[in-house]
Structure 1
Amino acid sequence: MRIIIINGPNLNLLGKRETDIYGDLSFNEFFQALQEEYPQVQLSSYQSNIEGELIDKLHEVGFDCDGIILNAAAYTHTSIGLGDAVKAISCPVVEVHISNTMQREEFRHQSYISSGARGVILGFGMQSYELALQSFLK
């Protein structure tokens, strides 16, 4: 099974930025542990701060892999283009957020990704990624 985690803007700073919201673990540290825990999954990751690059990556992998775990970060709430890209591909997508966006600023309550996603997981910290991965394994 091939699963890719695609992360959007500022998630390259996990472990350093707003640790009260996002924790102090870097994504790379978390990702290594996830790979070790799920050796049966061909797990890869991609991160970009650039909206068009995220859309290009969805187009590139969206017809070949078994699942995409997408944390579009702030683009979740602003990018119709990313939402359209999720709807355009055949690979199932699970939308993930580390924080519970519904407990945060009102603009974070809107998602352009959700309507095209298989499901949405939010508010469980980095474990949100693992829950999404488990949804593909069931």
Structure 2
Amino acid sequence: MPLSPFHLAIPVHDLPAARRFYGEVFGCREGRSAAQWVDFDFFGHQLVIHEAPARIDAAHRNPVDGQAVPVPHFGVVLPWEAWEALAERLRDHGIDFVIEPGIRFRGEVGEQATMFLLDPCGNALEFKAFRDIGQLFAR
């Protein structure tokens, strides 16, 4: 099945800070907006940030390949070179990573590059890449 863009709406308690983060740090093109929400082109997908009371708790973690992965989280699977470029861009912006860019499941089925970070409102994001995209759902 060909991939279709996803639509994801997330809560943010500081709309101006989140707007700057997604627009400036990631370089996402802004789409429609209103006083309480903003659409972004998030790597070809529609991400909408909605102003909401603070309630995010990224403190819950589950172990994955020896690392504590924040739950919930969302993200995008990128081509390897785009993942490397994004990691460098995020470093250039001084982003504090929850999990530093690195390789997970090294030498195993499903080997992948991954990194985790939080937006200014505590939403956890993961970006990953596979040298072999056929490994995306491998077991």
**Pairwise same-fold verdict (TM > 0.5):** no
- Name the structure where helix makes up a greater proportion of residues: 1
Between Structure 1 and Structure 2, whose CA radius of gyration is higher? Answer: 2
TM-score w.r.t. length of structure 1: 0.29
TM-score by length of 2: 0.29
